[in-house]
Structure 1
C-alpha cells in the first residue's frame, strides 16, 4: 500500500497518536487481486518507544469491481532506535521489526461474501512510502 507522510497528533493521555493516510496500492494473491483505493488511513498509537499499535481501515476494489472493506489491526515492535527511524520515515531492515496483523473483511458482493466469515493473519514490512503485507486466510 502506498502511504503519505504521517500526521503526528502528538502525545495524549491515551498514548502518542499518529494517522498515516493510505493513498492506494495493489493487492495480488491466489484468492483475491485488486486495487487499494485512496482514502483509507492507519490510526496508530505509540505505546512506548518499542511498541506501536496499528488500526488501518481501507477499501480494496477487486478485479471485477466489487468493493471490500478491510480492517487491519496490527502491532509493530522493535528496538527503540529502529522504531524511531521508522517513525521518521527512514528505511529499517524488516527483519529487525516484529510486524504482525489480523484482518477482517466486509463486503456486499455475492462473489466475495465468503470474506465476511473469515479472518486473515499476516506479516508486514514498513518502508518510507509503502507498506507490504503478506496475508493468509484462516478457514
Structure 2
C-alpha cells in the first residue's frame, strides 16, 4: 500500500474543558481556535469553532474525535471529521495532558480523517481514504494528511 502527501495542518487549540470522569474514562473537549494548512494544490486556514472531543480511557489511550472546518485560499469550506488514537509511555502522555512539550516520535498519534465538500475542485476528498499522523504541542496540533493510493 502506498500513500501520497496531501497537506499539513497546524491547528491552534485553546485550553481543554475538563468534563471529568464519565464512567468510561476522562472526557475532555479541546476547542479549535484557528490555524493554517498547506499541501499539494491546496492551502488555507482552519476556522475557529470546531473541537476535539477526547476520551482518555482507563488503559491510557486517548480517543480523539475532532470536528472542524477548513477553508481553502479560494474560499471553499471543507468539513473535517478526524478520529484517532494517541498513546505511549505514561510519563510522556502525562506531560501531553498537562500541556507540556514532549519529543516528536515519543508516542503514537495516528488518525483516520474524512472530508466533506460541495466543491468539484476538491471532490476527491469526498471519495478517497486518508490517514493522518499527529504531533501534539502545548498550543497546537500538527497533522500531516496522506491519501491512501
TM-score (norm 1): 0.95
What is the Cα deviation at residue 108 of structure 1? 1.2
What is the Cα deviation at residue 49 of structure 1? 5.6
Partner of 2:78: 68
Contact 1:123 1:133 (8 Å CA) reproduced: yes
**CA distance change for structure 1 residues 31 and 103 in 2, over 3 Å: closer, same or farther?**
farther
Partner of 2:5: none
- Within a 5 Å distance, the mapping from 1:1-139 to structure 2 comes to 1-48=11-58, 50-139=60-149
**CA distance change for structure 1 residues 65 and 40 in 2, over 3 Å: closer, same or farther?**
same
Point out which structure has higher relative CO (alpha carbons under 8 A, 6+ apart). Answer: 2
Alignment partners' CA distance in 1, 2:36 and 2:12: 9
SS at match of 1:101: strand
Regions of 4+ moved over 2 Å: none
Q: Deviations over 1:61-102 (max 9, x none)?
A: 011101000111110011111111111111111211110011
SS at match of 2:114: strand
TM-score (norm 2): 0.89
Gaps of 5+ in 2: 1-10
Task: Indicate the RMSD between aligned Cα atoms, in angstroms.
Answer: 1.1
